[in-house]
Amino acid sequence: MRLLALSNLYPPCQIGGYEMLCQEVMERLELRGHEFRVLTSDYRRDEADLETNIERSLRLETDVHYYAPAQVLHHTSEVRWNQERLREAVAGFRPDLIFVWGMWNLSKTLAEEAERIMPGRVAYYLANAWPIEPSLHRAYWEAEETGWKGRAFKLTGRPVAQAICADVWRLPNLKLQRAMCCSRAIQDQITDGGVPMQDPVVIYEGIDLEDFATPTARPAAPEEGLLRVAFVGTLVAHKGPHTAIQALGVLRRRNANCRIALTILGKGHPDYEAYLRDLVAAEGLTEDPFYSVVFAPPIPRSELPDFIHAHEAIVMPSIWEEPLARIMQDTLASGVSLVATPTGGTKEIIIHDENGLLFPPEDATTLAACLERLAESPSLRARLGEAGRRTAEVMFSIDQMVTGVEGVLSELAAAAS
């Protein structure tokens, strides 16, 4: 098959795991004899090497961190630009299928255009709810303002934005034929949101299990009585790393009989990063001998197995209905204890006290209790880690995922021929 992958971001110019997964799947499909091209955005294009099969020409709606209200004035021309780039890519590559991945920060009209120019030949892998989520334009203009100047500005500008961006104030008109969903949670969320799918199928995201089975370097033994915990991910409020910091504050105020070192690995919105650092000070954790918080920049995925194995637990305090977090899969495959919120796809995978520990979103007190249990019980950590590894082996093989994706693509291509 000849596949044209359509994605908002593509490595090395990525933000999170979804776009990295896109690359892994496309490259493994290529190894199975399929040919692919990628059409993606110009985000950080100057950081990418020259690639013959990757076209970085699409324009995102706005900056990934700071919304620029004036950008709404360019919406119509940028929609037209992106549609033209898609038509050119189809005409030049002549794919059997268009394979749609991430669409965050891109107009959904691009997916509509894909279905228009190649009816019955558009496949989807859905790892977030972009078909029903408001665009960044709509999210900004409908968000409430506390100051009178902001309210006046939006009161005046919102009708203009709605007139220019009428397409972002409606649900997309998509067929979503044989859509592949990363979890039942995301499938239900999209259909309940008013965008139906035709014969959807759940195919869990996959990882290379062997990469996480054993570390390449022997992890240093922890200091006696010290629990090494890490948060890994984009630093944004809905990922909830603030809850992990607050949990250490709870333990500190209780004079709990444990020591915990928390590493926060990632980067994100500058304002939220500053808030997290201020929170560490506010919780009295900057000089405390029993509790510490260290911020670390993102690392290449190839270094992630060693990083996870250097900790006794990974905390995943998501607030939003996270479709299926890769760090959950990575942690389970590593045999390291996972502490997470039962949101989105996580609640399909993690059973409390069997293959992980669960706590309610933004409940720092319950998270603190979970961490205290892990600190006090090496046997609990070992039991959860072993069960997590078995879960990963059954559910999250990358080869198993690619086989499932390949089967759906082949069925769709055959039906359209």
Per residue in 2-40, pLDDT (tens digit) is 999 999 999 988 887 788 899 999 999 999 999 999 999
Is the model's pLDDT at 344 over the cut of 90?
Answer: yes
Contact between 228 and 196 under an 8 Å Cβ cutoff? The reply is no
Nearest CA among 255, 267, 265 for reference residue 229: 265
Is the pLDDT reported for residue 185 higher than 70?
Answer: yes
Q: Do 2-206+398-416 and 209-395 share a fold?
A: yes
In degrees and rounded to multiples of 5, residue 377 shows phi and psi of -135, 90
Q: Which is higher by pLDDT, 149 or 291? A: 291
Q: Specify whether domain 209-395 bears CATH 3.20.10.10.
A: no
Give the domain ranges of the chain.
2-206+398-416, 209-395
What average pLDDT does range 213-231 have in this prediction?
A: 80
d(CA 229, CA 219): 14
**pLDDT over 90 at 389, yes or no:** yes
- Dig out the tokens for 43 from the structure: 């985000």
pLDDT band at 75 (very low <50, low <70, confident <90, very high): very high
Instruction: Tell me the pLDDT of the chain averaged across its residues.
Output: 93
CATH architecture of 2-206+398-416: 3-Layer(aba) Sandwich (3.40)
CA Rg value for the chain: 22
- Bigger pLDDT: 404 vs 15: 404
In three-state secondary structure terms, 153 is helix
pTM of the model: 0.86
Q: What ranges in 32-108 are assigned the alpha helix state H? A: 75-93
Based on the number of CB atoms within 10 Å of its own CB, is 290 exposed (0-12), middle (13-18) or buried (19 or more)? Answer: middle
Q: Is the peptide bond before 12 cis (omega within 30 degrees of 0)?
A: yes
